[in-house]
Amino acid sequence: AALLPRPARGLTDRLYCGRRVCYEVLGVSRQASKAEIARAYRQLARQYHPDRYRGEPAGGEGSGAQAAHEKFLLIAAAYETLKDEETRKDYDYMLDHPEEYYRHYYHYYSRRLAPKVDVTIVILVTVCAISVFQFFSWWSSYNEAINYLASVPKYRIQATEIARQQGLLNKTKEKGKNRRSKEEIREEEEEIIKDIIKNKIDIKGGYQKPKIYDILLFQILLAPFYWCKYIVWYCWWIYCFTIKGQEYGVEEKLYIIRRYMKMSQSQFDSLEDHQKETFLERQLWIRENYEVYKREQEEELKKKMAMDPRWKRYRRWMKNEGPGRLTFTDD
């Protein structure tokens, strides 16, 4: 009785080979190797393939080409189930535990609907694409800022003067065979002025010069290093200023002020030096002093808004009409 094939209890039409046992469809045992399964599949496929079928084969099932076609699909389903080790393991488990109905459904459809491409590769390609777009977008913004500064008379005059002092503009005017057109000379002078502006002006904020380490890909790769660096810095901060009670230095004071103002490092760096000196003079790293400074700034902003004609017109419009009122005025 143990050598007889197991009854196909718990088999359904929508899983694997349906009501048929895949091993019986291919005519192999459950202990068959992958080579034996492949050999049995090739033999049956040649016999029942719709393009090669010629009449009812000896010992076959059904009649006609339609039956052969259905037999071929069943053979293909059996081979797809048994050729993969993981799928075959799930199928063997279903034969041994037919009562776990929902588990079999889950494993069957999870494997069929799983993405064919590795998710890691998809994520890596997406991150690389975003990083490339991010880098070129930053370069575009940086070039726009340089072009704008080159058109401002203040910076253009200074850059032109520096270029003359370094003798760069004199090289553009050549005579003889190397003489160029005015358009070429003008383009070269423009590039020289832009290069001087790039070297002399430190642009900060969203238009600063892009760095390769700021893109998303390097940020992800360097995230463990940044975390370790932050943990070491935080432990040093606790040890020096909490345990030992040392006084804050200039950098530490500015760091605390920046945290109170909820500004990023690039935003804080874009502030003028005299503003940072004012912060230090007023001792804004002390919480009470910063709260006083914050209230003063809010009051000053309210006064500016009260005196600004545009804000007066806006408040008058909000009072008389407002965005939710129905009016027939043309303006």
DSSP 167: T
Q: How far apart are CA 109 and CA 291, in angstroms?
A: 60
Maximum average pLDDT range among 61-65, 76-80, 142-146, 290-294: 290-294
> Please, which contacts does 191-197 make with residues 24 or more away whose CB atoms are closer than 8 Å?
192/163, 192/168, 193/150, 193/156, 193/159, 193/160, 193/163, 194/146, 194/147, 194/150, 196/159, 196/162, 196/163, 197/146, 197/149, 197/150, 197/155, 197/159
Structure tokens at 229: 């660096």
Task: State the total domains in the chain.
Answer: 3
Domain match, 202 and 128 both: yes
Question: How much is the average pLDDT of 288-294?
Answer: 92
**Residue 233: inside a domain:** no
Distance between CA atoms of residues 149 and 201, nearest Å: 9
What pLDDT, on a 0 to 100 scale, did the predictor assign at position 59? Answer: 46
pLDDT of residue 178: 60
What residue type is assigned to position 17 of the chain?
C
pTM assigned to the model: 0.47
Q: Which domain holds residue 307?
A: 247-320
Band (pLDDT 50/70/90 cuts) for residue 3 is very low
**What is the mean pLDDT of the segment spanning 274-279?**
89
Task: Evaluate if residue 259 carries a pLDDT over 50.
Answer: yes
Task: Let me know: does 19 contact 43? Beta carbons within 8 Å.
Answer: no
* Whole-angstrom Cα Rg for the chain: 39
Both 98 and 139 in a single domain?
A: no
Q: What are 164's two structure tokens?
A: 């003359």
* Residue 163 covered by a domain: yes
pLDDT band at 320 (very low <50, low <70, confident <90, very high): low
* pLDDT in the model for residue 8: 44
Based on the fold, state whether residues 96 and 137 are members of the same structural domain: no
Q: Which of 191, 210, 229 is the last residue of a domain?
A: 210
Q: Does residue 229 sit within a domain?
A: no
pLDDT at residue 133, as a whole number: 92
Per-residue pLDDT for 202 more than 70?
A: no
Residue 120 carries which side chain, given as an amino acid letter?
T
DSSP annotation of 238 reads I
My answer on whether 106 and 143 are in the same domain is no
- DSSP letter at 57 equals P
153-180 confidence digits (pLDDT tens): 888 888 888 888 877 776 555 555 566 6
Residue 124 inside a domain? The answer is: yes
Is the pLDDT assigned to residue 6 strictly greater than 80? Answer: no
* 124 and 192 housed in the same domain: yes
Percent residues over pLDDT 70 in the chain: 79
Mean pLDDT to the nearest integer, 222-241: 92
Indicate if the pLDDT at residue 64 is higher than 90: no
The whole-number pLDDT of residue 212 equals 82
pLDDT band at 209 (very low <50, low <70, confident <90, very high): confident
On whether both 275 and 303 belong to a single domain, the answer is yes
* Residue whose pair of structure tokens reads 């048929």 in the numeric block: 20
Q: Is 325 within the bounds of a domain?
A: no
* Same-domain check for residues 139 and 197: yes
pLDDT the model gives residue 321: 54
Residue 180 CA, chain-centre distance (Å), reads 48
| Calpha distance 273→310 (Å, rounded) | 31
**What was the pLDDT predicted at 195?**
85
328 is a domain residue: no
pLDDT tens for each residue of 8-54:
444 666 787 877 888 988 888 888 888 888 898 888 888 877 776 66
Same domain for 105 and 138?
A: no
CA 39 – CA 26 distance, rounded (Å): 10
pLDDT over 80 at 258, yes or no? yes
**What CATH number is attached to the domain comprising 72?**
1.10.287.110
Task: For residues 243 and 231, give the distance between their C-alpha atoms in angstroms, rounded to a whole number.
Answer: 16
